[in-house]
Structure 1
Amino acid sequence: MFKKIKRFFGKVINVLTPAKTTMTAIAAPLLAFILLFNFLFNFLELSGTPSWGWVLVILLFYFGLTFLIAMLMVLAVRILERIPKKFLRVLFFGFALVFMFSEVSKSFGWLFFAMIFMFPALILGGIYKWKKGELFPLRGLKRIFSFLLFLLSAISFMILIYFFFDPGKPAEDQKNVRMTGRLPDSLLLPDPSANGNYEVGYLTYGSGTDRNRDEFAKGVAFKTPSVNASLMLKSWKGIGGKLRNAFFGFDETELPLNARVWYPKNADSASPLILMVHGNHMAQDFSDTGYAYLGRMFASRGYIAASVDENFINSSITDVDFLGGGLKEENGVRGWLLLKHLESWRKFAKDKTNPFYNKVDLGNIGLIGHSRGGEAVGHAAYFDRLKYFPDNARQTFDFNFNIKAVMAIAPVDGQYMPSAVLVPLTDVNYFVLQGAQDMDLISYAGIAMYKRIKYTPDFDGFKAGLYINLANHGQFNTSWGRKDGSGAGIHKFNLRQLMPPADQEKIAKVYIGAFMDLNIKNQKEYEPLFMDYRVGRQWLPNLIYLNQYEPSLKTMIADFENDLVLETANDNGGKVAVKGLTMWKERLLKTEWNASLSNA
């Protein structure tokens, strides 16, 4: 009996085991194939008291299943014993490359491994056997099995390649019910995204010693000193930290204050100041260049706009994941760096040798942040009123700037929590933009910050949000574009449904321009735009938008946030009653970073 079983498995192993000459021959081209793909895309319980009969059945089932798994493992080992060492090296190298060091495995898993290793190996093996005359004519079980594997692998490989590179299909037409029926009157105001009458000037400032970028080395108009973030940034260490030092030429004790600036050349008075900051992206694919379209608009309209370079605290090719990875919880430093830039601007305005001497209105400051930068502007607004860094009082603060507007583009929330608390802003004019097709920030995280902002009785302002259909994460930054991520993982998304980049930039310019004009230049007539986008439909692409708006002087009757008792409203004696519901409950919503959003 056992001899028959042994002979059977011997036949199975004989059929399943490829020829050594075939595997040896295809090892080199297969290795080249694996390296090519990875270079392109990664570099691309029981309860109660059950009867003893059931216990026996369950035990037998699990023992049997375990035995079967053990036999299959023995079979796999027997097959592996017959595989040449050269081929095994390529096999395990490819496996490690895809599943240990590749972000793409998180998105496609075994499908990607099949596409770059298993199917190509079988196809190359089939071609080799064909050329050697070991495939045709199709006689014998082994040749038939080899041919079927070759054919199925070729078909499967082509199908996977098609779906992998298919960009998707255009978005289906959707009826915008809010644009039917009687519409509100359009605002009879100038387009807040239109260029103004000022001639636009441009320059850069920074360390003057940047080893990777000429504009922050020899190309600076004037130099700025470095700043020491070592008391706040604790993850710049280990091998990854040393590699980061080697690439950038400095460590956390000497972070540069680099920025590119657009300004009105012919301004006859001091200009309001706006700082813009990018989020996390590959550090070597510099992100600060992507807001030039906003910088030029602002400068032509009488603002000084600076796009701040914080690429050196972004994810980097120097991050060694299995040795600890890159920087963590660095967003507090992102916000602090903005305030250090503002300190520099305070000095620029007082320095007679600086081109911005007496030309900066530090009484009117706006902050704009994108992605992690969107959270960072909230940290900056919070730190601005503190005397110490919440996680280390040895780091003292003395800022106290007049920040009039805080604007976040698709921000994260909770990546860094000072003293393990989500930032609680008070008396801030806040606006957030979020795309419905964001493939990076899949939660509307900015609305969590929106919900946390509180107002005192004497503050006159508002908070608002805009949720935009067909907008992604990256097209708000021209250097990021349509792909909200790097590597092959982006291919799981439908990219063809996105709006054109120019439309997304237009929406950003309209709303960001209006928000700054309203809060910095006191042009209150733009406020209805933040209550209902339809009053500005003449300026906006014809898309679906959802507005959120809450003025500081509003009295909330019920927002489901006060307690766990369903019948109570807010602290005003009100009661809540319902009728006809199949379920009535309140639940805390969570964002992608597991931050509390709100009750619903």
Structure 2
Amino acid sequence: MDQEPEYEITSRTTHHKRKIFKTYTQKSLHLIQSFSKATWKGSSYGATFMTMLLIISMGFDFHTGLGKAIDIVIFTLIAIPGTWLAVKIGLIIIGLIKKLPSLFIASILVSGIIIIYTLDQYRQLDNILPLAYTLLVVGIVIGGLVGYPLTNGLKKPVSIVLLTIGLIASGAFFYWLFTPGLEDYRSQMVVKPLSPVSSNPASSGNYSVQTFTYGSGNDKQRKEFSMQVDLKTQSVNASPMIGEWSKAREWFWGFKDTNVPLNGRVWMPEGKGEFPLVLIVHGNHKMEDFSDEGYDYLGELLASRGFITVSVDENFLNSSWSGGVAGDINGRAWMLLQHLQQIESFNQKKDTPFYQKVDMNEIALIGHSRGGQAAILAAKFNKLDRYPNNATMRFDFNYAIQTVIAIAPTDYQTLSDRKIEMNDVNYLLLHGSYDSDLSEFEGDRQYNGIQLTGGEDAIKAALYIDRANHGQFNTTWGDNDTYFPFTLLLNKKPLLKGEEQRQIAKTYVSGFLETTLHEDDSYKPMFEDYRYALKWLPKTTYISKYEDPSYSIFADYEEDVDVTTTSSPFIKVTAGSLLQWYEGELEYRRDKERANHGVFLKWDDSYSKNGHYTLNFSKPLQDPFNFNENSDLTFTAANLSEDESQESVDFSIKLSSNGESATVLLSDIMPLHPVLPVRHTKTIYFEEKRYGEPTEPVLQTFNIPISHFIEDNPSIDVKKIDTLTFQFDQPNGGTIFIDQIGVNQTN
């Protein structure tokens, strides 16, 4: 009997096994797919059910006043049909998206992610999302308008129309992007200048000026601090004060945080010393765009007037594409004190230009931006024995720092989460309303932290400058208060010119140093009342505050929440015919704490013309709070009216004594400026997210000579005042904030 070959049997067996495996695999895949579909469907229903359940559960704790059963029914109707309808709408949207070309969907997703990531330099996502969406939509619309005719040709009329619209839209967008911005509106407030009592402090002095540099001699980036340096210095170990020194930063500069250099640009008066010493330190900027060069205008001026001036290099602590440096404010402050040590050493060496030229008993620190905070922090460190954030590190400085000048300073909490407070140091604050970097008047907190105890003849002053920005105080920074491409969104049209802004800085910085270091009191009036300096300044609005030890405040509103009391136990407060009366904290444009309390008052002449806020004295004020013929009534006030009104607010101040009264109209002394609405950017959406409210209250110091009250009524006995009343008896209503009520003993 013939037999079938063995390989044929094996082949049929293998084929049969493959057929069985294929059938089994198909059934398994079908089962998995069926299971998968059921699973996805169940998951979808589960998510929808949980949403409905959550909404229904809210009805159990929501009270409409119609009864619990009706509340639950209402939320059930919202939950079941509402959620189901939302899901159906979502299905429709997804279906439409699926019909779009894959290239378009991928481009939108990828472009959106990249745009958001690129713009989010400050990790403030809520601020940049509107801008990111706008850029994406603009790109989609313009691309679509131009893309259609390019794809379908220009023979069709519709192609020509779309191409024309696309080109116009593109041109309009880029014109808007590169235009300087929008002019703002300011109501015209007439402020008459007072006659200056001294010469213009911004004028060059009588000294010729010598310039040179000192530094490590090993700077990779700048010849003036390396091969061309005039004086060599030792490096210092800054690692205990800072952190996160990246490899990229080390590569760029050529040193680590353990051996940072002491570099400085010096402007020195030629002639016999000793001269006061002034250090200027920049703030945070791109470290690759060197900032210390930007204060030469101050260096030349101050040196010509007899101040040794040094612009301190701290660029290696600035931000970069490679990241920032943690704890940089403390490091910046500590570095300033290291420079003082170095200059003190130079001052004792015969082979240096500093030899016996420096008056180490007359020192001033000037800082801009983060440098402004570093300056006051250095003055604080200077008085301490140990570093507050790490007490194992000892300090041994104790230099005679007499004066601190802060230009648009930051005010971060750097000392164990506490604000910086100092006693009896001369302090000047400058800030611009159009500061698009530090849009809030943060330096005002520093100003309030300076206490004048009378132990030293110190003064403090602040000048708020309308239309001044952050960067133009430094010639390197210019009018860009932020990084590209955000600079394209800034509203630069209202800004003062750079030369004008620096003219203000020269006038006030020089005048303050003449007052505090050269002890020339003829300049003091310009700080107490900015109108004495108006003839030297560009035309804009100024708001100023001032205080010295002659100011005795009996109502600073920091004591309690009782609106009927003041800082003095012998004063009671009454008020009447007001729409609003309460004590509270003055607010910044955004949410930062200002730590400045006062009284808020609102009135409307249609409601009553007898609105008043009165301080009642239970007994005559005693020294140092008493009034006399040579004293001033002093207080600070801010206009809080609606920004749309742009109207000045006026009211009367009345003193009463033994049945006699005398009244002075505020505007006869000095007008209370209208609110100053600011538009930092060209787009309202980015404006609101990044900068907050359009206005920010700024306090003006008012000093009303008691002699004016005596002129109004010679019969009044100013030494026995029993009431002080703010009388809201002028046309129009208003909202104001009042603080720091007291007496200024002018003689």
Instruction: Give the TM-score taking structure 2 as reference length.
Output: 0.67
On the 8 A contact 1:108/1:489 being kept in 2, the answer is no
Aligned ranges 1:205-216 → 2 under 5 Å = 205-216=214-225
SS at match of 1:584: strand
* Aligned position for 1:574: 571
In structure 1, the partner of 2:248 is 243
User: Aligned-pair distance for 1:572?
Assistant: 4.1
1:498 deviation in Å? 1.1
Offset, 1:90: 5.2
1:359 maps to a residue whose letter is: K
Larger Rg: 2
Tell me if structure 2 keeps the 8 A contact 1:475–1:482. yes
Q: Which residue does the alignment assign to 2:80?
A: 60
> Does structure 2 retain, via aligned residues, the 8 Å contact 1:107–1:489?
no
In structure 1, what is the equivalent of residue 300 of structure 2?
296
Matched with 1:337 is 335
Native 8 Å contact 2:269 2:306 kept in 1: yes
SS at match of 2:319: coil
- 1:92 Cα deviation from its structure 2 partner: 4.5
More helix by percentage: 1
Tell me the equivalent position of 2:452.
455
Q: In 2 relative to 1, CA 280–61 (structure 1 residues): closer, same or farther, beyond 3 Å? A: farther
Query: Which residue is equivalent to 2:281?
Result: 277
Instruction: Give 1:215-364 correspondences, 5 Å limit.
Output: 215-234=224-243, 236-237=244-245, 241-265=246-270, 267-319=271-323, 326-364=324-362
Conservation of the 8 A alpha-carbon contact between 2:217 and 2:226: yes
The one-character-per-residue Cα deviations of 1:205-227 (angstroms, maximum 9, x if unpaired) are 11111111111111211111222
Which stretch of the first structure deviates more once superposed, 221-230 or 281-290? 221-230
Q: Which amino acid aligns with 2:531?
A: R
In structure 1, distance between residues paired with 2:85 and 2:165: 30
Query: Which range moves more in the overlay, 479-488 or 57-66?
Result: 57-66
Structure 1 vs Structure 2 CA RMSD: 2.4
Find the counterpart in structure 1 of residue 698 from structure 2.
none
Tell me the secondary structure at the aligned position of residue 440 of structure 1.
coil
| 1:433 matches 2:418 | no
Distance in structure 2 (CA, Å) of the matches to 1:563 and 1:491: 47
Counterpart of 1:199 in structure 2 is 208
Instruction: Name the CA distance, whole Å, in 1 between partners of 2:74 and 2:591.
Output: 44
Aligned to 2:677: none
Percent of residue pairs identical: 36
1:111 maps to what in 2? 134
Ranges in structure 2 where 5+ consecutive residues have no aligned partner = 1-57, 122-127, 599-747
Distance 1:578 1:359, change over 3 A: same
Relative to 1, partners in 2 of residues 1:216 and 1:120: Cα closer, same or farther, differing over 3 Å?
Answer: farther
Contact 2:424 2:455 survives alignment (8 Å): no
Alignment of 1:113-192 (within 5 A): 113-115=136-138, 117-131=139-153, 136=156, 153-172=166-185, 174-179=187-192, 184=194, 186-192=195-201
Q: What residue number does 1:29 align with? A: none
Aligned to 1:534: 531
Contact 1:119 1:154 in 2 (8 A): no
Partner of residue 12, structure 1 = none
The one-letter code sitting in structure 1 at the alignment partner of 2:206 is N
CA distance in 1, matches of 2:81, 2:259: 63
Q: For 1:576, what is the secondary structure of its paired residue?
A: strand
2:98 equivalent in structure 1 = 78
Query: Is the alpha carbon distance of 1:542 and 1:128 closer, same or farther for their aligned partners in structure 2, counting shifts above 3 Å?
Result: closer
Counterpart CA distance in 1 for 2:95 and 2:248 is 44
CA contact (8 A) 1:363 1:402 kept: yes
Deviations 1:379-422 (A, max 9, x none): 011111001111111221111011111001111112x4211101
The 5 A counterparts of 1:357-436 are 357-414=355-412, 416-436=413-433
Q: 1:76 to 1:418 in 2, by over 3 A?
A: farther
For residue 475 of structure 1, what is the aligned residue in structure 2? Answer: 472
Q: Which residue of 1 aligns with 2:119?
A: 102
Q: Could you tell me how far apart the structure 1 residues matched to 2:579 and 2:177 are? A: 43
| Stretch deviating more after TM superposition (454-463 or 216-225) | 454-463
Distance in 1, Cα, partners of 2:448 & 2:203: 31
Conservation of the 8 A alpha-carbon contact between 2:112 and 2:133: no
Quote the offset at 1:552 in angstroms: 2.3
Partners of 2:165 and 2:570 lie apart in 1 by 71
Q: 1:441 to 1:588 in 2, by over 3 A?
A: same
Q: From the superposition, tell whether residues 593 and 194 of structure 1 become closer, same or farther in structure 2 (CA, over 3 Å).
A: farther
| Structure 2 partner of 1:21 | none
Alpha-carbon deviations, 1:332-369, whole Å to 9, x = none? 11111111111111111112222211111111001111
Structure with greater strand share of residues: 2
Instruction: Kindly state the Cα deviation for residue 593 of structure 1 after the two structures are TM-superposed.
Output: 7.9
Distance 2:334 2:89 in 1: 56
- Residues 232 and 392 in structure 1, CA contact (< 8 A), matched pair in contact too: no
Structure 1 residue 155: deviation in Å? 4.8
What count of residue pairs does the alignment treat as equivalent? 527
Native 8 Å contact 2:445 2:595 kept in 1: yes
SS in 1 for 2:576: coil
1:163 corresponds to which letter in structure 2?
A: W
* TM-score between both structures, scaled by the size of structure 1: 0.82
Write the letter of the residue equivalent to 2:213: T
Distance in 2 separating the partners of 1:75 and 1:213: 61
Write the distance in 2 (CA, Å) between the matches of 1:275 and 1:148. 63
1:412-447 Cα distance to aligned partner (Å, 9 max, x none): 112x42111011111111010111111111111111
* More off after superposition, 485-494 vs 465-474: 485-494
